[in-house]
Structure 1
Amino acid sequence: MKAIVHYGAPGWEGLQVMEMEEQQPQPGQVKVRLKSAGLNHRDIWVLYRHQPDAPPIILGSDGAGIVESVGEGVQNVKPGDEVVINPSLGWPEKSPAPPEGFEILGFPDHGTFAATVVVPAENVEPKPAYLTWTEAGVLPLAALTAYRALVTRVQVTRGQTVLIPGIGSGVATFLLQMAKALGATVYVTSRSPAKREQALALGADRVISTEGDWNSQLNGEKVDVVIESVGRATFQKSLDQLKPGGTLVIFGATAGDEVDFNLRAFFYGQYNLLGSTMGSAQEFREMLCFVEQHGIRPVVDKVFPLDDAYHAFKRMDEGEQFGKIAFSIES
């Protein structure tokens, strides 16, 4: 089968489309014939984490498709079921942090950028009927990440004000949609005027330039919650925009892992600093109910065939997308 893999060279040089053998489900597993899949920043990071002398790895964490076959002992799904794939492996119940052994689909195990994928049976859930295949395929990782950050970690409530720096990523667009569904007022930042306009169309209450002074652009208004994934480039601005007692939650660090900040200002401000990543199978099911209840549809930026993997990855790497980049998979 055709698949997007990393193999034979470090970084981008190892990104290629090649033929891979289809796996068959073992006891407790299911084989899904994929209809679509979604690209995430994690897929770019795997280009550097996967060693070039290791066997080829099929990339991809997001996907949706039709169950083709099931292994011995599987009872929760059957061939013909339409499903979305939960990429969070080994995290069954909601907990303060992922358990030991937690992994994400797509590395170190084969992922979803192929005609088929084999996953544990507990990692598939019924596809929301109102979503297209493309929408369902890009939903899982980003929507789960946004849901845990907003609902489990911060517990955002109606009337609060939420600031999302760097609108445009898949998670950020889900954060905007979910926060609005929860009744929050939502502000976003972006360097791109076009993305700021797209965010307004998606429901943002206010948009500001990432590069300008946030406090002056917001007329001195402080916020209850900042949900941060940029890292070093915006961390201090995010912290400075909080109300006393406000909460900063971090789920990523695309612009640098290490930051410096004033501890005295932090404890005098009575701020809360939370980390968040992905989510459990329990939260994945909660997220599916939430998006269906509120009619949330993923923002799809652009759809690529598997053969055009390089341009899809480059579009994400250069930050051109607004929403999710998808792969259409022809079986």
Structure 2
Amino acid sequence: MKAILLAEKNQPVQRIDAPMPTAGPDEVLIKIEAAALNHRDVFIQQGLYPGIKLPAILGSDGAGIVVEVGEGVDSAWRGQAVVINPAMHWGNNPRFYGADFRILGMPDHGTFAEYIAVEKTSIHHKPTHLSFEQAAALPLAGLTAWRALMTRAALHTSGTPEKVLITGIGGGAALFALQFAVSAGAEVWVTSGSDEKLAKAKTLGATGGANYRDPDWAKTLMAQLGESQGRSMRNGYFDVIIDSAGGPGFARLIDVAAPGGRIAFFGGTTGNITDIIPPKVFFKQLSIFGSTMGTEREFADMLSFVDTHKIEPVIDKVLPIDAIEEAMKKMDSGKQFGKLILTLNGW
């Protein structure tokens, strides 16, 4: 079969002919129809991801059709359209993954290939309202956003709508957090370094936002909030904040958090968190949560929510998989709004 292999760090990926996998016991063989790119793939290529083991076929996100079932798997799965959960072997503790946890696409061969064999526990029926390209956009970023928003920050989905701030809108996980929060009835605000992305976020249900390149973005955001509420927001008003950047700007999130607010973050693209004033955290009784990927139950719950609310992932561009280097460069530039999808139909 054809596949995309990363042989060495800081080198281009290569198209190769790889051995055809087979479905072992409790496994299924999937013909991949579409895959999606994540920052994880770019970070692995750049040598910026922990525990890199190469060579490896990259790709954590994928959707396709089951073409073979192994021993112990119901034959009814053959021919089914499925989406793959890339978070494998989380373990029995829902609060923290176990020693066997790993993410598809390094060290295990991933979805940038014509076929992939995975354990039956890793597959779920593709929501019927989604195309293969849309379904492929969902797994890693959707699961990350779901756990951060719904489990760690515990967004209230009934009663008075909570106010949610999502930073860095445009990335896959941030956009899913926006779509999930809006569908759950929250009032959502966003930040971005692009006014164009802020405008696009409003078309997805965001109430407003601010450009974080403005040194006074936090004050600007609070002023907008005050205008919308008809009162002063001097003490902050976001019940939930979802962040993927970390860095020095994290201190501003504490300023705009409501008393008793919850901040969940799953990335550190702008570096280490600095300049936090402890009394601002403990006098406001804030809760700060780290989050990574999610459990098998969370993936199923996320998929059910997407199906119930007929959420359609935001896709920036669909490319043939032979254009993967172009896609990786675009992702590294941060200019995309939504997921970058790779189709395998032309192989």
Fold shared, TM-score > 0.5 on shorter chain: yes
CA 1:300/1:94 → structure 2, altered by over 3 Å: closer, same or farther? farther
Which residue matches 2:285?
A: 270
Which residue matches 1:328?
A: 343
In the alignment, which of 205, 213, 217 is matched to residue 214 of structure 1? 217
Amino acid at match of 1:216: K
CA 1:233/1:132 → structure 2, altered by over 3 Å: closer, same or farther? farther
Cα pair 1:36 1:327 within 8 Å, conserved: yes
CA distance in 2, matches of 1:229, 1:262: 20
CA 1:204/1:263 → structure 2, altered by over 3 Å: closer, same or farther? same
> Does residue 218 of structure 2 align to residue 223 of structure 1?
no
> Does residue 288 of structure 2 align to residue 289 of structure 1?
no
Cα pair 1:33 1:66 within 8 Å, conserved: yes
> Does residue 315 of structure 2 align to residue 300 of structure 1?
yes
CA distance in 1, matches of 2:270, 2:134: 28
Cα deviation 1:90-147 (Å, max 9, x = unaligned): 0266711112211000011000011111111100000101101110111111111111
Question: How far has the Cα of 1:265 moved from its partner?
Answer: 2.4
Cα deviation 1:57-77 (Å, max 9, x = unaligned): 100000000001111111285
CA distance in 1, matches of 2:93, 2:134: 25
CA 1:216/1:261 → structure 2, altered by over 3 Å: closer, same or farther? closer
Cα pair 1:86 1:124 within 8 Å, conserved: yes
Cα deviation 1:233-269 (Å, max 9, x = unaligned): 4211212111121111111111224534222322122
Which residue matches 1:101?
A: 100
Which residue matches 2:185?
A: 183
Which residue matches 1:165?
A: 167
Cα pair 2:91 2:100 within 8 Å, conserved: no
CA distance in 2, matches of 1:14, 1:282: 36
CA distance in 2, matches of 1:150, 1:76: 36
CA distance in 2, matches of 1:77, 1:317: 41
**Any unmatched runs of 5+ in structure 1?**
none
SS at match of 2:144: helix
> Does residue 295 of structure 2 align to residue 280 of structure 1?
yes
**Any unmatched runs of 5+ in structure 2?**
224-232
Cα pair 2:254 2:280 within 8 Å, conserved: no
Task: Map 1:120-269 to 2 at 5 A.
Answer: 120-158=119-157, 159-212=161-214, 213-218=216-221, 219=223, 220=233, 221-269=236-284
**What root-mean-square deviation, in Å, do the aligned CA atoms of Structure 1 and Structure 2 show?**
1.9
CA distance in 2, matches of 1:233, 1:316: 23
CA 1:105/1:320 → structure 2, altered by over 3 Å: closer, same or farther? same
CA distance in 1, matches of 2:79, 2:48: 35
Cα pair 1:135 1:298 within 8 Å, conserved: yes
CA distance in 2, matches of 1:71, 1:321: 39
- Structure 1, 224-233 or 254-263: larger mean CA deviation: 254-263
CA 1:50/1:167 → structure 2, altered by over 3 Å: closer, same or farther? closer
Amino acid at match of 2:217: W
Normalised by the length of structure 1, the TM-score is 0.94
Which residue matches 1:5?
A: 5
Normalised by the length of structure 2, the TM-score is 0.90
Question: How far has the Cα of 1:23 moved from its partner?
Answer: 1.3
CA 1:259/1:102 → structure 2, altered by over 3 Å: closer, same or farther? farther
CA distance in 2, matches of 1:4, 1:309: 9
